[in-house]
Structure 1
Amino acid sequence: MPMLETERLILRAFRQSDFAAYHSMVSDPDVVRYVGQGVPLNAEQAWQSMAYLMGHWWLKGIGLWAVEEKRTKKVIGRVGLYQPEGWPGMELGWMIIKENWRKGFAFEAAQAALAYQRAYIPQEPLISLIHSENKPSIKLAQKLGASFSLGREMGNIQVLEFSYPDHA
């Protein structure tokens, strides 16, 4: 699994020592409000989620990185590429802990993941599926260069599909 570095962040594999921070993030109702069914995860579900993220790398060769802030050495989120079975395309996704919202971390991390995709798997079209009410993520996808493609239902949730251009 490759490691990526930006000015303020390191994108790396999740470690067992990241579990407390990961669980804190995915159990926060505000953070998961627009993710999946919008339900906070308990400890067992958080562990399964983190293991799923790591397994995705092994099965698909792509996945989500732990986002570590260089200054604090703390994991502050997840970002990356994923395409589980039955997914409509390769997706760029992100999640940042609430205390670090509006600091540009999601944009910085997502830019690095997007650059990775363009450098190593440019032949794969890239999308982001965003809950129709998640205005901050819609703005972020647009800032990253994506444009609205279509609305679709994913697991009884109305989402908007944003497509990224083939090149920067």
Structure 2
Amino acid sequence: MSDSASISARRTRIAVDASACEIDDLAPCGGVDVRVGGDLDWGEFVERAVASGWPGVERLGGVPGTVADVVRVNAEADGQAVADVVASVGTWDRATDRARTFSYVECEFGPSTSRFGERLPDGQHRYDIVDVSLLFKQGDLTAPIRDAELAMLLGIAPGGRLPLTEYALRRGRAGD
């Protein structure tokens, strides 16, 4: 299989590795490693994360685009950023015509930016984001809501948490 065919085969799927939480594991549960195709709709992925008990992206459900789009701009909403859960990003580098995987540190995430925004002279993005590995803690509660205004809108104290499935309902009512 050629490199580009291999890259295409890795798109649009979600692979979950929860082996850090095996019953016989001597270490306490470390979380879940989720690898997702860059062309998957971001909203669909957030719904899956919430339903699966993977807190860390629940506040980003309203961000439009694909997984690649959202990672490229390090989307942020209500005090949560995609970079908070990214472990690595698999790409096709158009400048070198080969696959390359970037660890979190190499992604150069900043407020609303990452290294994946780099463009070639023809205007195309240099990196085609093929897949993204995300690390989640397991649980059914949101990350702590530290933003005082958002906490007030949700009816909880700053630093409080909500069930993942309830967050979207309360956020929707608070936005009305």
Report the TM-score range of the alignment, normalised by the length of the smaller protein. under 0.3
TM-score (norm 2): 0.26
RCO (CA 8 Å, sep 6+): is it higher in 1 or 2?
A: 2
Instruction: Report which of the two has the higher share of strand.
Output: 1
Higher radius of gyration, 1 or 2 = 2
User: Given the two structures, how large is their TM-score scaled by the length of structure 1?
Assistant: 0.27
